[in-house]
Amino acid sequence: MQLQHLLAPVAEHPSLRALELETILCFIQYALLARPTIRFYSVDARTPPALPSLAVQLVLAQCTGVSVETTKALWDVFKDLVWAAKEDNIPSTDAVYTFNKYALPLGISYYHLYPPVRACQNVSCGNYRATDDIRTLGEPATYKASLFTLRSGALPVYSTSLYCSKCNRRYHHNYFVHAKSDVQEYYAGVPNVIQASKHHFLDSALLEFITTSKVFGWLSAQNCARIYNMSLSSPLSAQLNNELAFGPVKMPDVPEQRHWQTSLELQDEHVLNGFFIYSLLLEKAERGQILSLGHKLNHRDRLQPALQERNQSMEGPGQEAYTHACDLCYVVYEGGDGRKMKIQAAVCDGITIGHPCCAVHDCKAPLATHRARFCDNHLRQYGSKCAVRECSDEKEKGFRTCPAHRSLEAAYFSKNTSVSQLRKRLQRARSHYGFSHGEESDEDEGEEVIVEAILPNTGPDCDGKSSEGNKKVKAYFGRRRTHNEQIIMRPCGVILSRATFFGSEAVSGVHKFMKATFPTPQSVPQLIAFDNGCQLHQHQDAIGDPHFKDTAVVVDVFHFKSKHKETDKYCAIHCNPAAFDEMMDGDKWRFNTSACEQCNSWLSGYQAVLRDMEMTRFNFYLDEMIKRRNRYTIQQLEGKGYKPWEVPAAALFPTDYGFRKEPELAEQDPVLYHEILRLRPLRWSMGLALLSRMSDFVAQLALPAD
């Protein structure tokens, strides 16, 4: 619109001729802030209404400093400009405060949260419309809320929902609910603002910042909230936090905001709830699906089914980067017969982070509450028993032991014992470093501690002494934790899979984990490095499982040099990485077999954050961190020239395999499909040539013959 077309109508309104240009620009600015409300209540949104509502007129008049009559005239002149203007402008801090000063008392707010639709979305309903131009919904319901944004700080807002009287659906900002349904169905895609609780909303930009901070900074929800409240909750945070440098800061006075019903201070529970919902919405959008949650449940129970569903999809080959390949983990070269061969490598290791679990060894059932020591199944069996494992007597009410073993419990809880002193030192250290509470902590329950003691045998004796002597017993106090998290990754740093080991890092469990990660012959790598590779190799031989018969299972270079004895003949023959010429590129290792050790330093940062998190949330949280770290790792590989690409899933899972259901690659891209098949795997089975090399290698070690 040209300036002459804009200013010409002003001359037609006598009341506008004397206005300063600054006043006109001020009106346009505040009209843009009020436009979402004006549009929301308009019957036909294709054109601006002749006049906005009386409440909007009053707000614009007070913000601009003119009469209501002048406001009407200004709207008549500039309504088309306001209606057609772009929506990507962020208003100044003063403009937001001024607008809210006059708008909040009238039930309007800057960034008022409305449903994204104004017409019913049920195609069988009489109020259905294919477009959103004509409003068919009514019966607005409005309540006060708090909105936490990345760029505009913490804002007092109103949230309004609409109702369809024909099909009994109420449309909220993020989702809609049928009056007789227990399910809230989210709209497709990822909204700009996400509801973390009934009265608390976070914008997606802030949640993206928080999630990225968790990936690279290991921040707990509590520390995320603290950082936000101190540095992002106000656009003037830098001045407010450093008044000695900037001088006193005079904040605009918004009386209604001072007595707002909901707190404008971000809490850790809002951060965590927002993180889970944001991540779920992203996952659903990536898959072209819709998120549905229970409506009448509390927030924790509402999220559980969706979190569990995503966790199950991540098991085995579920990570999105599972099909990754690059020059650091996938090598193609010509074999002796001139045909191309490929070596694809993987590395496996564990790290001792975990979550509370049932006190019965290797029990994988979830705990009902944070304070529980047993799952529901074992609670009936052991919940009333003494904490001493060898004792089958009932514990007394208010204690964890029977009368005979009360001394052990007294020693555990005594303020002067070393156990108690160490527990207090740990609590002080956690408090000092800002993570005295995990994401979901319970201060009343400590870690599982095994207290050993020698107790006199009180049975029948001879000459004052028991024939059996004193008895050594163990008592288990506090909560048990899972043993470790096991990961399988490529040598380039991309993590393929993760699993929780509840009882121990047994090689039998590692073997099952590897089979779940590489379930088909086409997906099995030609090389697997594991710090206990020799025992894993022996286990696979002992059980006669041929799944990895064409895979070299070796000990990673670091552990082979530092942890395995030179006299271990089996390890030297079968698991020494130097025995395989294909692992060498000149005088350098072709693959980084210590990738897991380096990745563990990153994973260990989540120990304090996740130590008290419930199992379902723990798994979701860690999988999401891995997913995002993989994306960053692949970006770095691309930038460094290692040419990351994806192996077609149909080449790894040529049949309709349970974890992935994809169309046959042969139909989609026959040329690429046959090229993948042509890169036949390097056979690691112990052929004559390889045995010959092994014999020479063993001879050099001067190991004793069998």
Q: Read off the pLDDT of residues 373-401 as tens digits, 9 standing for 90 and up.
A: 899 999 988 888 898 888 889 999 888 89
Report yes or no on 543 lying in a domain: yes
* Residue scoring higher pLDDT (164 or 662): 164
584 and 670 fall within a common domain: yes
Say how far apart CA 256 and CA 367 lie, in whole Å.
45
Is 124 found in the same domain as 72? no
Residues 418 and 462 in one domain: yes
Q: Give the pLDDT confidence score for residue 568 in this predicted structure.
A: 58
Count of domains forming the chain: 4
Whether 471 and 489 map to the same domain: the answer is: no
pLDDT, one tens digit per residue, over 404-416 is 888 888 877 775 5
Residue 696, in any domain of the structure: no
pLDDT score for 417: 57
Predicted confidence band at 623 (pLDDT cuts at 50, 70, 90)? Answer: very high
Burial class of residue 313, CB neighbours in 10 A (0-12, 13-18, 19+): middle
Residue-level pLDDT at 14: 75
Predicted pLDDT at 44: 93
Say if residue 488 is in the same domain as residue 470. no
- Three-state SS at 705: coil
Q: What is the mean pLDDT of residues 621-640?
A: 97
Checking if the pLDDT of 525 tops 90, the result is yes
Is it the case that residue 287 has pLDDT exceeding 60? yes
Residue type at position 143 = Y
Give pLDDT, residue 700: 44
Residue at 689 is within a domain: no
Q: What is the mean pLDDT of residues 9-13?
A: 72
Predicted confidence at residue 479, as pLDDT, reads 81
Residue 448, pLDDT > 80, answer: no
CB 507 within 8 A of CB 532: yes
Q: Which residue, 350, 345, 349, is CA-closest to 580?
A: 345
Percentage of the chain exceeding pLDDT 70: 79
Q: Tell me, what DSSP letter sits at residue 566?
A: T
Residue 694 lies in a domain: no
Residue 451, pLDDT score:
66
pLDDT for 164 beyond 70: yes
* 677 has a pLDDT exceeding 60: no
Query: Mind listing the pLDDT tens digit for each residue in 165-222?
Result: 999 999 999 999 998 888 999 999 999 999 999 999 999 999 999 999 999 999 999 9
| pTM for this predicted structure | 0.86
Per-residue pLDDT, averaged over 478-492, amounts to: 91
Clarify whether residues 503 and 406 are in a common domain. no
- Residue 689: pLDDT above 70? no
Same domain, 184 and 48: no
Q: Which residue has the higher pLDDT, 613 or 410?
A: 613
pLDDT tens digit sequence for 55-89: 999 999 999 999 999 999 999 999 999 999 887 77
What digits encode the pLDDT tens for the residues 546-596? 999 888 888 875 555 555 555 556 565 666 666 676 776 767 778 888 887
Place of tokens 């130590």: 611
pLDDT range class, residue 153, cuts 50, 70, 90: very high
* Whether the predicted pLDDT of 117 surpasses 90: yes
pLDDT of residue 533: 81
Residues 470 and 617 in one domain: no
Is 558 inside any structural domain? yes
Domain limit, last residue, from 89, 124, 143: 89
- Whole-angstrom Cα distance, residue 81 to residue 10? 13
Q: Nearest 5°: phi and psi at 656?
A: -75, 75
- Which residues are 334's β-sheet partners? 340
Split at pLDDT 50, 70, 90, the class of 666 is: low
Does the residue 314 lie in any domain? no
Lookup: tokens for 294: 């229970």
Domain that holds residue 436: 360-481
Per the CB < 8 A criterion, the answer to whether 567 and 604 are in contact is: no
Question: How open is the CA angle 517-521-525, to the nearest 5 degrees?
Answer: 60
Asked whether residue 101 is domain-assigned, the answer is: no
Same domain for 513 and 455, yes or no, is: no
Q: What phi and psi, each to the nearest 5 degrees, are found at residue 565?
A: -70, 145
Asked if residue 28 belongs to a domain, the reply is yes
Instruction: Note whether 405 and 447 are same-domain residues.
Output: yes
Determine which of 349-358, 447-456, 559-568 has the lowest per-residue pLDDT on average: 559-568
Would you list the DSSP string of 281-301?
HHHHHHHT---EEESSS-HHH
**pLDDT band, very low/low/confident/very high, at 456 (cuts 50, 70, 90):** low
User: What pLDDT is attached to residue 667?
Assistant: 63
Are 648 and 533 in a shared domain?
Answer: yes
Q: Are 295 and 176 in a shared domain? A: yes
* 8 A C-beta contact, residue 143 and residue 158: yes
For residues 99 and 114, is the Cβ–Cβ distance under 8 A? Answer: no
Quote the pLDDT of residue 674: 57
Quick check: 454 pLDDT over 80? no
Note the residue count of the chain.
706
